[in-house]
């Protein structure tokens, strides 16, 4: 945009300057030529006025005294040539009728008649060399071109400053709009620049405020509705527990459990801060180390072998620490809920060459078919909400969720592919966290 404005302004300025410089260029040549002619006339006028008054025998001496520069030649009527030698051509005969100028390779020649001379009209010729004309023209035109380029440079500088003063607020608007589009609803622009751009900035801030209010009201409404569902869910649980048939009571209790987990998930997501991954960053290794330490106690109680590994002491990913912790808790919780007590599991963190990390939770259970998993139910009897939470966390970071079979443990392997954090966010993570432990492997077993 700035270059286009610069080129447009310079093109218009150049056309205007050419409109002035071309006539000046021509006028300089004409002016210097006229000055040279005037100088030639002034040089021969004293000789034209003096020679008719001089005796014939003194004519050579008078002409030589006036011809100190070797440019003057006098042709007498009897054919005698005084001063600088030169051949008498038809110009001499023509000059007896009146003065005129002639441009030749020798230079600019002035022929002027001298009347009242003995024997008839004489003719004086004065030569102005080409260097005396072209030199001043060249210098004057060089000054003109230099002045034009200087004015063009000044105009370009002024236009650049003007363009920057206009485009800087536009760039701020674009940056704020990009931040809002990426999910940073707290982004605002400081209105600046021309009044029209200031008005756009004010409207953009007002729109961002309106969107933030609408989202907050929507999330509060969803959370309120989900919270109200707790009462009928509780009533359903009481009714289910009051059934006499044990199988029917167990089946309804499981359905109520699934409904309650879905309600809790809705409330949890609605109360999560509106961030949408904007500038979110955390240390994946630190989150894994913290959450596996929490689950280690339960693993020891059930006699499970839990292995935790990472290849780097610190890996910054584009995800909120709380969101990643919730996703990890959901995956580990599924291992405890849907695999036998003796089944071991592992949590690994592997760095990616393009940035980010792969957090994998593998178990030694029976595994499951990924095609059977949908939000609210799965083929293994779970609600599928844990995997859905993990999937959204991965996608918000710019990654994905992968489900496969563990080659080491034989059961399911769920991998969170997390995107890398921006350099600014990485620096913030490094400044805000504690030093990482040197050990990269921990194991607990019976």
Please check whether residues 406 and 360 belong to one and the same domain: yes
CATH number, domain containing residue 305: 3.30.565.10
Residue 94: which pLDDT band, with cuts at 50, 70 and 90? Answer: very high
Examine the domain organization and report whether 286 and 413 are in the same domain. yes
**Do 114 and 235 lie in a common domain?**
no
User: How many CB atoms are closer than 10 A to CB 361?
Assistant: 25
Banded pLDDT at 424 (limits 50, 70, 90): low
Q: Are residues 414 and 297 part of one domain?
A: yes
How many other CB atoms sit within 10 Å of the CB of residue 407?
A: 8
Shared-domain flag, residues 245 and 286: no
369 exposed, middle or buried (CB, 10 Å; 0-12, 13-18, 19+)? exposed
- Tell me which residue has tokens 């504690």: 434
> Which of the pair, 171 or 436, is modelled with greater confidence?
171
What residues contact residue 17 under an 8 Å CB cut-off, 6+ apart? 148, 151, 152
Residue 371: pLDDT band with limits 50, 70, 90: low
**Residue 149 is assigned to a structural domain of this protein:** no
User: Between 272 and 431, whose confidence is greater?
Assistant: 272
pLDDT band at 112 (very low <50, low <70, confident <90, very high): very high
Whether the per-residue pLDDT at 374 is higher than 60: the answer is no
- 282 and 266, same structural domain? no
Using pLDDT thresholds of 50, 70 and 90, give the confidence band for residue 438: very low
Same domain, 39 and 84: yes
- Radius of gyration of the CA atoms of the chain, in A: 49
Token pair for residue 20? Answer: 């002035």
Range of the structural domain that residue 426 is part of: 278-444
Query: What is the reported pLDDT for 377?
Result: 47
pLDDT at residue 19 greater than cutoff 90: no
Beta 345-351 vs 306-310: how paired, if at all? Answer: parallel
Last residue of one domain, picked from the residues 244, 271, 298: 271
Separation CA 182–CA 175 (nearest Å): 11
Q: What pLDDT digit, counting tens, does each position of 64-73 carry?
A: 998 888 999 9
Query: Does pTM surpass 0.95?
Result: no
Give the percent of the chain with pLDDT over 90. 25
Nearest-angstrom CA–CA distance, 418 and 404? 17
State the average pLDDT for the chain: 82
CATH of the domain at 266: 1.10.287.130
Looking at the fold, whether 56 and 118 belong to one and the same domain comes out as: yes
The pLDDT of residue 317 is 92
141 in a domain, yes or no? Answer: no
The total of structural domains in the chain comes to: 3
Predicted confidence at residue 216, as pLDDT, reads 80
CATH of the domain at 51: 3.30.450.160
Are 255 and 366 in a shared domain? no
């Amino acid at each position: 945009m700035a270059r286009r404005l610069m080129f447009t302004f310079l093109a218009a300025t150049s056309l205007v300057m050419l409109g002035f410089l071309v006539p000046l260029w021509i006028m300089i040549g004409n002016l210097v030529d006229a000055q040279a002619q005037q100088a030639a006339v002034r040089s021969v006028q004293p000789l034209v006025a003096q020679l008719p008054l001089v005796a014939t025998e003194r004519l050579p001496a008078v002409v030589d005294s006036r011809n100190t520069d070797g440019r003057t030649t006098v042709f007498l009527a009897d054919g005698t040539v005084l001063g600088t030698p030169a051949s008498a051509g038809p110009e001499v005969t023509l000059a007896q009728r009146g003065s005129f100028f002639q441009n030749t390779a020798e230079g600019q020649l002035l022929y002027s008649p001298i009347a009242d001379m003995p024997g008839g009209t004489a003719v004086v010729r004065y030569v102005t060399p080409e260097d005396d004309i072209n030199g001043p023209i060249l210098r004057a035109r060089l000054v003109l071109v230099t002045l034009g380029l200087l004015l063009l440079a000044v105009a370009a500088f002024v236009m650049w400053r003007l363009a920057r003063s206009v485009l800087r607020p536009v760039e701020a608007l674009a940056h704020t709009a990009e931040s809002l589009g990426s999910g940073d609803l707290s982004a605002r622009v400081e209105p600046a620049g021309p009044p029209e751009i200031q008005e756009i900035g004010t409207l953009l801030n007002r729109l961002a405020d309106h969107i933030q209010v609408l989202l907050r009201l929507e999330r509060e409404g969803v959370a309120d509705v989900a919270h109200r569902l707790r009462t009928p869910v509780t009533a359903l649980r009481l009714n289910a527990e009051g059934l006499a048939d044990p199988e029917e009571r167990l089946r309804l209790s499981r359905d109520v459990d699934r409904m309650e987990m879905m309600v809790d998930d809705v409330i949890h997501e609605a109360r999560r801060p509106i961030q949408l991954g904007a500038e979110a960053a955390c240390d994946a290794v630190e989150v894994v180390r913290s959450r596996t330490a929490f689950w280690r106690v339960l693993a020891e109680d059930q006699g499970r072998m839990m292995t935790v590994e990472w290849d780097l002491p610190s890996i910054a990913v584009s995800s909120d620490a709380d969101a990643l912790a919730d996703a990890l808790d959901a995956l580990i919780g599924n291992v405890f809920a849907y695999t036998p007590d003796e089944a071991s599991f592992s949590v690994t963190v592997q760095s990616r060459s393009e940035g980010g990390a792969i957090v994998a939770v593998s178990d030694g259970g029976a595994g499951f078919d990924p095609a059977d998993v949908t939000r609210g139910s799965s083929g293994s009897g779970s609600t599928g909400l844990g995997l859905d939470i993990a999937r959204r966390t991965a996608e918000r970071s710019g990654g994905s969720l992968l489900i496969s079979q563990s080659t080491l443990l034989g059961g399911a392997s769920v991998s969170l592919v997390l995107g890398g954090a921006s350099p600014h966010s990485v620096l913030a993570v490094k400044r805000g966290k504690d030093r990482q432990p040197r050990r990269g492997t921990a194991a607990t077993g019976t």
